[in-house]
Amino acid sequence: MATADVTILGAGVFGLSIAFCCSLRGARVRVIDPSGVGKGASGGLVGALAPHTPDLWLPKKQFQLESLLYSRSFWPEVEAYSELSTGFANNGRLQPINEERLVSLALSRISDAKENWGDKAIWEVVSSSQMGEWAPPSATGQLIYDTLSAHIHPLQAVKALARAIENLGGVITTAGAMHGAIVDARGWQGLIEISETLGQEVGNGVKGQAALLDFNCPDRPQLFSDGLHVVPHLDGTVAIGSTSERYFKSTVKTDKKLDELIAKAKKLFPVLKDALVISRWAGIRPRAFTRAPMLGRHPVNHDWFIANGGFKIGFGMAPKIGQVMADLVLDGIDRIPDDFLANASLASR
């Protein structure tokens, strides 16, 4: 086996996106994960790629915007190299406006979106009646519709990334020697290990549970209401999720919390009330202390790099993270926002 230029620890969406971007630039890449591809949080069901609101602009929001826009070419490129579907679609998102006072706030953000998103996406307020039975119930009869939101099928996406990396000459394995530049992308367990080594919490794991319903509406926008995502996948299923559990007994078992989430979804979105549950999922998502991704030089192994965290926004951030980490690892060019640097997470404690 040829010596790698870059070794990635972790075959989740961050590690695989970095490996893909490095492979595109001609680097010899090896990805090592004892559990295999997408066996952690990245093998989930939901895949909502949704932006923060377009007002109160910050570097984090700018980075997310650039990543979501890049997603429109990144995931089709992954599909081209892998000849597999990622489930990516840019169908937007609907959110109900349930209080009259929030209608004016939503309307004010139209100009914010024009200023900060440019002509690449829109944020608008529409009537529920325009969306028919797919409209989420809204107490005001008004909805927010944005076209920056997209969605993806997480497990399909990481499998496609893995195949694309292999087709570009990379190696994905459950064990092996580390050579070249080393990038730690081991998710929540990596955050726990760093925290224990440093004697301070830099991150942890948050359990999420989700379900897949048999409901065919692949061209519809995703829905978001009361903290719940509803994502219509291209394969004729709809994902709903997810819970956020800081304390948990099992990392992989679903329980009554998911039953409650399914019941809540069917109450919030009556169009789904008769849809059958065909799959249930649970996993642990990495949450850095700042909630932002933790990127750059590794805080413990100073010759390594790190790409971790990104709680709930990992798939949306992954294309841009792959790009900027490849810049850093291969060319020494640092384009990482200051708030994302690993030292920023430590300094915030």
**In which band, very low, low, confident or very high, does the pLDDT at 342 lie, cut at 50, 70 and 90?**
confident
Q: Which residue carries 């925290």 as its tokens?
A: 195
**In which band, very low, low, confident or very high, does the pLDDT at 348 lie, cut at 50, 70 and 90?**
low
**In which band, very low, low, confident or very high, does the pLDDT at 346 lie, cut at 50, 70 and 90?**
low
**In which band, very low, low, confident or very high, does the pLDDT at 2 lie, cut at 50, 70 and 90?**
low
Per-residue model confidence as pLDDT tens digits over 19-74: 999 999 999 999 999 999 999 999 999 999 999 999 999 999 999 999 999 999 99
Give the three-state DSSP class for 182: strand
More confident residue, 322 or 291: 322
CB 121 within 8 A of CB 204: no
Amino acid at position 211, single letter: A
Axis-axis angle for helices 59-82, 314-331 (nearest 10): 90
C-alpha span between 281 and 231 (Å, rounded): 15
C-alpha span between 30 and 75 (Å, rounded): 21
CB 347 within 8 A of CB 43: no
- Distance of alpha carbon 149 from its chain centroid, rounded? 12
- Strand order from edge to edge, sheet including 222-225: 123-127, 142-146, 93-97, 222-225, 228-232, 237-241, 203-214, 276-288
CB 122 within 8 A of CB 108: no
C-alpha span between 284 and 314 (Å, rounded): 13
Give the three-state DSSP class for 11: coil
- What's the start-to-end Cα distance of the chain, in Å? 42
pLDDT at 291: 85
CA distances for 160 relative to 13, 82, 149, 310, 320, angstroms: 11, 6, 21, 21, 17
pLDDT at 345: 58
- Name the β-bridge partners of 209: 282
Per-residue model confidence as pLDDT tens digits over 294-339: 999 999 999 999 999 989 999 999 999 999 999 999 999 999 999 9
Question: If you ran DSSP here, which 8-state letter would residue 66 be given?
Answer: H
- Structural domains in the chain, CATH included, are 6-86+151-202+289-347 (3.50.50.60), 93-147 (no CATH), 203-288 (3.30.9.10)
C-alpha span between 231 and 208 (Å, rounded): 16
- Joined together, the tokens standing for residue 329 give 């690892």
The beta-strand segments (E) located in the chain are: 6-9, 29-32, 48-49, 93-97, 123-127, 142-146, 150-151, 171-173, 181-184, 203-214, 222-225, 228-232, 237-241, 276-288, 293-297, 305-309
Percent share of the chain, pLDDT over 90? 94
Interior/surface letters 81-118, b for 16+ CB within 10 angstroms, e for the rest: bbebbbbbbbbbbbbbbeeeeebeebeebeeebeebbe
- Name the β-bridge partners of 224: 229
Average pLDDT, the chain: 95
pLDDT at 289: 87
Does pLDDT of 1 surpass 60? no
- Joined together, the tokens standing for residue 256 give 């009554």
DSSP string, 284-346: EEEEETTSSEEEEE-SSSTTSEEEEE-TTTHHHHHHHHHHHHHHHHHH------GGGBHHHHH
- Joined together, the tokens standing for residue 119 give 């002509």
C-alpha span between 27 and 6 (Å, rounded): 7
The pTM of the full predicted model, rounded to 2 decimals, is 0.96
